[in-house]
Structure 1
Amino acid sequence: MEMMKKKSFNLPEDCLAMILSLTSPGDVCRLSSVSSIFQLTSNSSALWRKFLPPDYESIIARSNNPSQLLDLPLKKVYSSLCRYPILIDNGYKSFWLNRLTGKKCYMLSARALTIVWGSTPMYWKWTSIYHPKSRFSEVARLRDVCWLEIKGKIDVKALSPSTHYAAYFVFTLERSAYGLKNQPVKVTMGLAGSGESITRVVYLDVETPERLGNFPEEPFLGQPFGDFMVPPILADGGGLEYRMDRSDGWWEVKIGEFKVDLEEGELEMRLTQLGGHWKRGLAVQGIEIRPR
Structure 2
Amino acid sequence: MQIHPAILNIMNQMRLMESDGSSEIKQVEQSSINKTDSSAKETEIAARKGGRTRPPLSFLSILNDANIEIDMSCPHKLCDLLYAGVYLKPNTLKYFVDKKSNKNCFAVFPREFYICWGENPKYWKWTQEKEPSGEDIEVAELLDVCWLEVRGKIDTIDLSPGALYEIVFVLKVYENPNDDIEKKHISNYTLTLTIIPPRVKRLSRQAILKENPVGNWFEIVVGEFIMSPENVGIMEFSIEEYTPTWKNGLTIKCAIIRPKK
8 Å Cα contact 1:26-1:99 kept in structure 2: no
Aligned mates of 1:53, 1:132 — CA distance in 2:
24
* Counterpart code for 1:253: I
8 Å Cα contact 1:169-1:253 kept in structure 2: yes
Q: Secondary structure at the match of 2:50?
A: helix
How many angstroms does 1:118 deviate by?
0.8
Q: Which has the higher strand share?
A: 2
Q: Is residue 55 of structure 1 aligned with residue 58 of structure 2?
A: yes
Q: Which has the higher helix share?
A: 1
How many angstroms does 1:146 deviate by?
0.3
Residue equivalent to 2:81: 80
Unaligned runs of 5+ in 1: 1-11, 31-41, 43-47, 207-242
* Counterpart code for 2:221: K
For residues 16-35 of structure 1, the aligned pairs below 5 Å read 19-22=25-28, 27-30=48-51
Instruction: Please give the per-residue CA displacement for 1:9-31, whole angstroms capped at 9, x wherever unaligned.
Output: xxx95xx979422499685335x
Residues 52, 130 of structure 1: alpha-carbon distance in 2 compared, 3 angstrom cutoff: closer
Residue equivalent to 2:102: 102
Aligned mates of 1:190, 1:147 — CA distance in 2:
20
For residues 79-228 of structure 1, the aligned pairs below 5 Å read 79-82=80-83, 84-128=84-128, 136-176=136-176, 178-192=184-198, 194=199, 196-206=201-211
Q: Secondary structure at the match of 1:196?
A: coil
Instruction: Please give the per-residue CA displacement for 1:24-76, whole angstroms capped at 9, x wherever unaligned.
Output: 9685335xxxxxxxxxxx8xxxxx7xx43333124345779733xx2442233
Aligned mates of 2:63, 2:258 — CA distance in 1:
18
How many angstroms does 1:156 deviate by?
1.3
Q: Which deviates more, 195-204 or 18-27? A: 18-27
* Counterpart code for 1:81: L
Higher radius of gyration, 1 or 2: 1
Give the fraction of aligned pairs with identical amino acids, expressed as a percent.
Answer: 27
8 Å Cα contact 2:58-2:158 kept in structure 1: no
Residue equivalent to 1:234: none
Q: Secondary structure at the match of 2:187?
A: coil
8 Å Cα contact 1:162-1:260 kept in structure 2: yes
Residue equivalent to 1:273: 241
Instruction: Please give the per-residue CA displacement for 1:151-186, whole angstroms capped at 9, x wherever unaligned.
Output: 111111021111100010111122328432331101
Unaligned runs of 5+ in 2: 1-17, 30-44
Please give the root-mean-square deviation of Cα atoms over the aligned residues, in Å.
3.3
8 Å Cα contact 1:63-1:90 kept in structure 2: no
* Counterpart code for 1:127: T
For residues 254-265 of structure 1, the aligned pairs below 5 Å read 254-262=221-229, 264-265=232-233
How many angstroms does 1:85 deviate by?
2.2
Residues 90, 75 of structure 1: alpha-carbon distance in 2 compared, 3 angstrom cutoff: same
